[in-house]
Amino acid sequence: DTGVSQNPRHKITKRGQNVTFRCDPISEHNRLYWYRQTLGQGPEFLTYFQNEAQLEKSRLLSDRFSAERPKGSFSTLEIQRTEQGDSAMYLCASSFGSSGNTIYFGEGSWLTVV
Partner 1 sequence: DAKTTQPNSMESNEEEPVHLPCNHSTISGTDYIHWYRQLPSQGPEYVIHGLTSNVNNRMASLAIAEDRKSSTLILHRATLRDAAVYYCILRDRSTNAGKSTFGDGTTLTVKP
Only segment of 12-20, 54-62, 63-71, 75-83 that touches partner 1 (CB under 8 A): 54-62
CA distance 8 to 50: 23
Segment contacting partner 1 by CB under 8 A, of 12-20, 41-49, 66-74, 75-83: 41-49
Q: How far is the CB of 16 from partner 1 (least distance, A)?
A: 27
Among 7, 13, 20, 50, binds partner 1 (CB under 8 A): 50
Q: Binding partner 1 by CB under 8 A: which of 44, 76, 80, 96? A: 44
Question: What residues make contact with partner 1 under the rule CB under 8 A?
Answer: 4, 31, 33, 35, 40-45, 48, 50, 55-56, 58, 91, 93, 98-108
